[in-house]
Structure 1
């Protein structure tokens, strides 16, 4: 199989490239060539898809599968897809963020998405950009366009730092503010399972939109943090705390305490999406212990979360130690 990865140096893109190489495919990366090395056995083409003539290096190429993770202006997806229209299949890694509010728990692929356009040149709204990217891929490739609506993505290589923050925090040991309830269901997808689903379905010629994320309750906050303690071997004590005092202190779910979205929160649906279609198509998700353990071993090897390719400013995640200490002192005094 001949795989073209548009990008290939970020979290998901590098995982796609690695899996293509592992499968023995002929793998080509197309990007600006300013982030990350070229993996052994991978051919790299250079170009800036946002610049006039920036796709020239792709002209005349032949690929069975194209994977695109672009999250900027949709016009860039339309231009690339148009040039690559002779490829066998176009997989666009999108996001659950495309669903139009208000979004209800259990949202499925048939639900309405935010308004957008395939030729939109604006890049200031993530949801609109992803929705427009879907339109662009489908406009050119039709049923040969696979739309992978990912949710929370975890695993080795994560460049936002949600699971890495928890692992580093647990590794420091001591009392750890654990946001409850401990049995709160958590829905996510390991990047390697996302990658396998994307490439497998593309090879099979499957098109259309899929919520690619584990079943709701694949794990819980309790299981996730206990696995972090086990993986790091740290002397950490999880101090479970009800959501109400945490929220009253101004702590933001998802950002200050990554992964956590408490019951009743307006974005709780992000971890309660319908996944029947993806599982029926072949999605499988590995146990949380494997995701957490492999992520810790990767972190131990690389030392720190890598910068996000093409994004010099990274969203800061994780609770300030002083704020955590104050909450622990109030709700879990020694």
Structure 2
């Protein structure tokens, strides 16, 4: 398969490139060429895709069998790419997000749950609206040749958001570590490499449609995740679990200060409880938790901490604030 990856240097894009190369596909990437050298075997095209003229010149009159796009900025950038490629590729895979659903996301929601408004030609800075606008841009150009992967929480090597990397570095330091909620709190997530493999397989067979692409509800728990991270880092860390009430009283924010974790209430519960039947019926599989955690740790050891993304909040609680909460729990 002749594949064009828009981006291809960080996190999901890098996972797509490496998975595609391992499967023997011909891979072309298009990016600014400023953050990482292209992987061996990749044909790089250099352009700032936010500049329509530069994008047009870089693509030329080339054709591909499929495109994978993980853009999370202004939807007009996705629209411009789709307009240029609609007649030159048979399939367009877009990494979207379950953030497009109206908040709060209902428990057990499938792909038919209500979504936010989006403008495919817009410049909104709201993440949910940007992703929905990107979806509409892809659907407008490709119709049933579009694959929309509403991924939600993505973990694994190359994560430049800072969720699992923060936990690994915090546990590496050892000592008493503030742990959120209850250990049995169920989680849903997807390893970026499993998402990549599923999207590429879908492109190969012309799969179209919209899918919630994460593990099944309860695939793992917060306790299993952190206990696995303790073992992988060979840490002496002691997990000290704090109830949601204690964390709320201390002003500790879920998701950002306590990465990955969300309370099990009406506001947040649906983010770890989506119906993913459609994606799994379409072949989505998830690797064991230990593999995701261990490979993320190995990547951090080999390449160091990634530069945090400027368009996302910093993750992890301040050490002094963590200590104050731990002192409350003694």
CA drift at 1:265: 5.6
Runs of 4+ with deviation above 3 angstroms: none
CA positional deviation for 1:298: 1.1
C-alpha offsets along residues 124-145 of structure 1, whole Å, 9 cap, x if unaligned? 1111111111111111111110
Superposition deviation, residue 2 in structure 1: 0.6
TM-score by length of 1: 0.95
Is 1:317 paired with 2:298? no
CA drift of 1:10 comes to: 2.0
Q: Give the distance between the partners of 2:181 and 2:41, measured in 1 at CA.
A: 46
TM-score, normalised with respect to structure 2: 0.96
Query: 2:252 maps to which residue?
Result: 251
| 2:112 counterpart of 1:114 | no
Name the structure 2 match of 1:172.
173
Q: CA deviation at 1:305?
A: 2.6
* Matched pairs, number: 328
Query: Distance between the aligned counterparts of 1:42 and 1:173, measured in 2?
Result: 40
Per-residue deviation, residues 201-244 of structure 1 (Å, max 9, x unmatched): 11110101000001111110110011011101111111122221
The residue aligned with 1:19 is 19
- In the alignment, which residue of structure 1 is the partner of 2:69? 68
> Is residue 94–residue 147 contact of structure 1 (8 Å, CA) maintained in 2?
yes
Identify the residue that residue 105 of structure 1 maps to in structure 2.
107
Q: Does 1:296 align with 2:294?
A: no
Which position in structure 2 is the counterpart of 1:34? 34
**Post-superposition offset of 1:52:** 4.1
- The residue that corresponds to 2:277 in the other structure is 276
Q: Aligned partners of 2:51, 2:26: CA distance in 1, in Å? A: 27
Q: Is the 8 A contact 2:162 2:308 kept in 1?
A: no
Q: How big is the shift at 1:123?
A: 3.4
Q: How does 1:148-227 map to 2 (within 5 A)?
A: 148-227=149-228
Task: Rate the CA distance shift 1:104–1:314 in 2: closer, same or farther, 3 A.
Answer: closer
Q: 1:18 to 1:320 in 2, by over 3 A?
A: same
Point out where structure 1 has 5 or more consecutive residues left out of the alignment: none
Conserved 8 A contact 2:104-2:266: no
The 2-side partners of 1:9 and 1:97 are apart by 23
Q: CA deviation at 1:314?
A: 4.9
1:38 and 1:246 map into 2 onto residues whose CA distance is 43
Distance 1:219 1:241 in 2: 19
Report the secondary structure of 1:67's partner residue.
Answer: strand
How far the C-alpha of 1:161 sits from its partner, in A, is 1.0
Residue number in structure 2 paired with 1:8? 8
Summarize deviations over 1:76-116 as a string: whole Å, max 9, x none: 21221121112021001101011123421111111221111
- Distance in 1, matches of 2:62 and 2:265, equals 50
Work out which of the residue numbers 311, 322, 327 in structure 1 matches 2:325. Answer: 327
- Aligned partners of 1:59 and 1:83 also within 8 Å: no
Which secondary structure state, in structure 1, belongs to the residue aligned with residue 259 of structure 2?
Answer: coil
1: CA distance, partners of 2:259 / 2:308: 18
The alpha-carbon deviation at position 165 of structure 1 amounts to 0.8
Q: What residue number does 1:51 align with?
A: 51
Match of 1:93 in 2: 95
SS at match of 1:305: coil
